Amino acid sequence: MHVVLIDYGAGNLPSVAKALGAAGVAVERSSDPRRAAAADALVLPGQGHFGQVMEAFRASGFEAVVREHIGADKPFLGICVGLQLLVEGSEEAPGSAGLGVLPGRVVRFPEGDVSVPHMGWNALHPYGDSPLLAGVADGAHAYFAHSYVVAFDEAATDFPAGATTTYGPTRFLSAVSRGALHATQFHPEKSQRVGLRILANFADAARTAWSARG
């Protein structure tokens, strides 16, 4: 199975690659969209300002590859801003559209009730049947570093599985799964044992999908 870690200039690539290796995932880090197009599974990391990250991603030439990969329901993992890029847009950069492969928008944590950014450990509350979160207990902690979140509508059916997290008065999507597409707002590469379990789960799900394709 060929797993590519997309290198479009995101700052957390080395730590993501190291954590994937520790979780037993043989991964190729590549800045060549042609290598990503041939991959069985893709990992899209991200950190920083939504608009700047989106601009760098589009300039890298990976957009069409990622769209085609997700459209074919091939295994995909987005991390932190790599989740936010998948939705329609963000309050952080109103003039910069997201990929729109998932519904919703990114909003800033309300000021005053909590300190922003949200930095450090917080609890995950899995729901649905996400292979990404298999064996992850309700209340298990992961590491966060962000000021913006995907708005969560309790009536939405667009995210049949994933996890929520609460920070102050805000409950937000901390992980989503839809088909072979998975993404986390937290950093699994910084989340120690829980993070390694999640990365290993992604690899297991990707192998199962790869085997099913023959």
Section 50-56 average pLDDT: 90
Summary mean pLDDT of the chain:
91
What are the boundaries of each domain within the chain?
A: 3-212
What kind of fold does domain 3-212 have according to CATH?
A: Rossmann fold (3.40.50)
**Residue 155's pLDDT is what?**
44
**Residue 211's pLDDT is what?**
72
Asked if residue 153 has pLDDT above 50, the reply is yes
Residue 80: active-site member? yes
CA separation for the pair 176, 161 (Å, rounded): 6
For 160-172, the pLDDT digits (tens) are: 899 999 999 998 9
Choosing from 49, 68, 80, 125, the catalytic residue is 80
Section 189-193 average pLDDT: 96
Residue 182: active-site member? no
Choosing from 69, 118, 182, 187, the catalytic residue is 187
Least confident stretch, 6-15, 141-150, 177-186: 6-15
> ∠ CA 103-151-6 to the nearest 5 degrees?
60
Q: Are 81 and 47 in contact (CB under 8 A)?
A: yes
Q: Which of 171, 177, 170 is nearest to 128 (CA)?
A: 177
**Residue 10's pLDDT is what?**
72
**Residue 214's pLDDT is what?**
61
Q: Which of 5, 31, 8, 32 is nearest to 16 (CA)?
A: 5
Residue 49: active-site member? no
The backbone torsions φ and ψ at residue 165, rounded to the nearest 5 degrees and listed phi first, read -140, 145
Choosing from 69, 92, 118, 189, the catalytic residue is 189
